[in-house]
Structure 1
């Protein structure tokens, strides 16, 4: 049966005709007056009356990955294979098919997160060449059904799936253990609960509802339960003077190879401690003096393509273009000359619309909100510009990459902290294997950093830009930047060097990162 109409807009005449053909086909396999809904939101996971399904498909669109209609037409045979004693829930799902569902589609969330297109142990059927369905279920090879990267991910998926199907307590119809815990974490984040308040709430819940069994009793154990959803980060020790990271080849070092500062926090020593002498005090191993947080980029980009909805949105810049007469309208970064010039210079990268274009933004702030507390945390945030304009600049689309702590701005030493990100970006330029849930295929995921977004101090740190154009009005407005000491900048800007000149100049540079070196001389005006 022709399914090309699925790709058309919902208002297209061929889409409307195709929808009616599908409904007529699906009516052949009604079960208790309901069929599975293949709209974009339900994704063949929920059951509704035919009229509701028809309305969903019309207004929400058809789930584009569902082209072999194995769950429709001969649905009575599917039910015989599964058993039909489960009944239906108020949420439109048949309980005997996907286990406990409740108010949240946790099974769909986990399948998207782990790139699994069908529930485990779920029989799949296919038609013969004569159009008739086979009498026995065809259980496809697990490499086709599941697309795990490792055996560990397989075990993790099954463990989380078990938690998602386990009721919070006997008789609970709204929450599973996992879904309730995720709701609690969601409330903690949006209302800024402290860890102590979260622990107190868990204790109160467990004391008040004794029928809730085997539920995490603290934030620590709760976090261990949901960390496998893949939103973790890496702690990387750093030199207190910003000279180096204890990462890569320096992972096992105890002392900075630039300034000689110990990796460990200075404390008063006790007998039995594994310590190294540092004058009057000691440095106890195991307590790092400075720690940065790094959120790996590659897993997060892979996760974007593991959901069919976000995977489709990542193609927007290529599929949803305006007509020829609107080419001069800048409505998205893909309309910009910089994007087009990049595509022209790197055509192999631009051939696949799934290749990710990233922007990078960074700035410092004081997390304590106290003027008398000296602290400057620098987050580094990435923006995926493939998304449509109403999504790419939403906070929910931002990708937190790095958190750099410190009592002051890292200055030019920010390059030290960007090493893990640069390493991943180099890998992504060549490409890594990923799974596209929208097309249902593996592909080579590539990414490139196109832009940075900063104020002028941040611009100087990230791009080493110090001089502006000679006619820039800011040069003669020094008092507006500092009323007491502001001076005008009238120096000439250097000539613009070529790429070859820059490379030859950089070969001679021997910059030493860190704050342990002698302070630079003050600039004379």
Structure 2
């Protein structure tokens, strides 16, 4: 079952395993699923398990079938998937949870490059009981659980603050539960989850940073950076008209390498993948290979990060109107295995551009802080600590791709995506025609038909097969 999922041997192994498990199952309706995603934590019907094993593959660490009838040898422990740890059917010891939290913070403190005093406060929170006499949770371990509950159930900041207030009232006096989302966020600030609020010109001309940091009006259009009072020309000082939320990626890259498991996964593409001639990972793409060929010094270090950014506009709060625009810029790390690349916890929000209008062609103004950090990661690099190899190294990164729809492509690349030359590939060779009365451009020359007597037209059997597949 640890061979190529497309092979006959793998198919036979799946069937043998399912027969083995069903003979020894206490419940014939469902058994634990050993795929990579479920990790023996979820019980599924036998048909669903078969699909999971072909789609997700079997958990590579599950070599002794202790959940499916094989005798348990000494030293054998259940196979646990960290992604679904919170959903397991047996609870770990609360003391183990507290110890793991303290160890995590202590490790971050030992290798931190930020303010050590901040980490000392975090370490105190990791050791401080949730309330006097509590042995199950510390302040930090309880907050980690609550944050996990918030993200899993998509609670709003207001809802989370109300939950914290309610828990604070339920727990004994002198408990350590924060009273609001803001207070809880301050506790986690030392772990590198901070952000920067950068003021912007409401006309999208500049960001008030670097040489414009102390300016009060835009040098390009003269618009004040402060908001105006409603139905008035009076300025509301200290209330910016537009704000860019910037989440620096460098601290998060460093934090990823401070986890031994994630640090190992970040070099999976170089040490653990199979080279079987098929395209199964971005390392097989021409873009990746071109970087390896042109910059061998960058390619020789497998820990150097290959990135993509995705940008698009959304209407927040499920609003179908276009009176407000929100543009998130998501960063994706492609060093990871294919089953982790697009996981939610590895998709980093880098920028949040919000305002009454979308940035359009001025999106480059808002991308400037991210571009500066990416340039530094490419040209100079930053010092980072690899917890898996237990050594310091210089971390670099390269941006391989941008992911966006067709209108956003025009904003990011500057190419034409409208009018007579809308195709970015054919440019002036685009087959376009403007309707005389409809006043719209149509593109009717892109469909190329086979000649009337071409031999492919007589292959009716293949034509029927293609239609059935559609």
Q: Give yes or no for TM over 0.5.
A: yes
Q: Give the aligned partner of residue 343 of structure 1.
A: 292
1:369 to 283, 308, 318: 318
Check 1:103–1:402 CA distance in 2 against 1; reply closer, same or farther (3 A cut): same
2:256 to 285, 304, 313: 304
Pick which of 468-477 and 231-240 moved more.
468-477
Whether 1:387 and 2:336 are equivalent positions in the alignment is yes
Q: Is the 8 A contact 2:130 2:176 kept in 1?
A: no
Q: Give the aligned partner of residue 442 of structure 2.
A: 488
Q: Give the aligned partner of residue 381 of structure 2.
A: 431
Q: What TM-score does the superposition give when structure 1 sets the normalisation length?
A: 0.63
Write the distance in 1 (CA, Å) between the matches of 2:74 and 2:413.
54
Return the offset for 1:105: 2.0
Q: What TM-score does the superposition give when structure 2 sets the normalisation length?
A: 0.70
Q: Give the aligned partner of residue 75 of structure 2.
A: 54
Q: Give the aligned partner of residue 19 of structure 2.
A: none
Per-residue CA deviation, residues 211-256 of structure 1 (Å, 9 max, x unaligned), is: 4524322222222222222211110000000000001111111010
Q: Pick the structure with greater CA Rg.
A: 1
SS at match of 2:204: coil
SS at match of 2:75: helix
Whether 1:147 and 2:168 are equivalent positions in the alignment is no
Q: Is the 8 A contact 1:102 1:173 kept in 2?
A: no
Q: Give the aligned partner of residue 417 of structure 1.
A: 366
Write the distance in 2 (CA, Å) between the matches of 1:147 and 1:368.
40
Per-residue CA deviation, residues 427-449 of structure 1 (Å, 9 max, x unaligned), is: 10121111111111110100010
Whether 1:452 and 2:402 are equivalent positions in the alignment is yes
Per-residue CA deviation, residues 319-344 of structure 1 (Å, 9 max, x unaligned), is: 12324xx22x1000101122111110
Q: Give the aligned partner of residue 419 of structure 2.
A: none
Whether 1:400 and 2:400 are equivalent positions in the alignment is no
Check 1:214–1:397 CA distance in 2 against 1; reply closer, same or farther (3 A cut): closer
SS at match of 2:317: coil
SS at match of 2:393: strand
Q: Is the 8 A contact 1:315 1:354 kept in 2?
A: yes
Q: Is the 8 A contact 1:206 1:212 kept in 2?
A: no
Q: Give the aligned partner of residue 236 of structure 1.
A: 198
Q: Give the aligned partner of residue 105 of structure 1.
A: 100
Check 1:425–1:284 CA distance in 2 against 1; reply closer, same or farther (3 A cut): same
Give the alignment of 1:83-482 within 5 angstroms.
Answer: 101-102=96-97, 105-112=100-107, 114=108, 146-150=110-114, 152=115, 154-267=116-229, 281-323=233-275, 326-327=276-277, 329-429=278-378, 430-466=380-416, 467-468=422-423, 469-470=425-426
Q: Is the 8 A contact 1:236 1:293 kept in 2?
A: yes
Write the distance in 1 (CA, Å) between the matches of 2:171 and 2:150.
20
Check 1:384–1:248 CA distance in 2 against 1; reply closer, same or farther (3 A cut): same
Return the offset for 1:470: 4.1
Write the distance in 1 (CA, Å) between the matches of 2:303 and 2:434.
46
Write the distance in 2 (CA, Å) between the matches of 1:452 and 1:443.
27
Q: Give the aligned partner of residue 11 of structure 2.
A: none
Check 1:478–1:437 CA distance in 2 against 1; reply closer, same or farther (3 A cut): farther
Aligned pairs, how many?
359
Q: Is the 8 A contact 1:91 1:103 kept in 2?
A: no
Per-residue CA deviation, residues 183-209 of structure 1 (Å, 9 max, x unaligned), is: 222323333333333333333222222
Gaps of 5+ in 1: 1-39, 41-50, 62-89, 94-99, 117-145, 270-279, 492-525
Gaps of 5+ in 2: 1-60, 62-71, 82-90, 417-421, 446-470
Pick which of 361-370 and 221-230 moved more.
221-230
Write the distance in 1 (CA, Å) between the matches of 2:143 and 2:291.
44
Q: More relative contact order in 1 or in 2 (CA 8 Å, sep 6+)?
A: 1
Return the offset for 1:91: 5.2
CA RMSD of aligned residues (A): 3.1
Pick which of 387-396 and 193-202 moved more.
193-202
SS at match of 1:311: helix
Return the offset for 1:357: 0.5
Per-residue CA deviation, residues 282-326 of structure 1 (Å, 9 max, x unaligned), is: 213210000010000111111111111111111011112324xx2
Check 1:465–1:55 CA distance in 2 against 1; reply closer, same or farther (3 A cut): same
Check 1:395–1:222 CA distance in 2 against 1; reply closer, same or farther (3 A cut): closer
Q: Is the 8 A contact 2:315 2:321 kept in 1?
A: no
Write the distance in 1 (CA, Å) between the matches of 2:255 and 2:433.
48
Write the distance in 2 (CA, Å) between the matches of 1:478 and 1:339.
40
SS at match of 1:255: coil
SS at match of 1:169: coil
Q: Is the 8 A contact 2:218 2:225 kept in 1?
A: yes
SS at match of 2:318: coil
Write the distance in 2 (CA, Å) between the matches of 1:60 and 1:184.
21
Write the distance in 1 (CA, Å) between the matches of 2:433 and 2:335.
39
Write the distance in 1 (CA, Å) between the matches of 2:154 and 2:271.
39
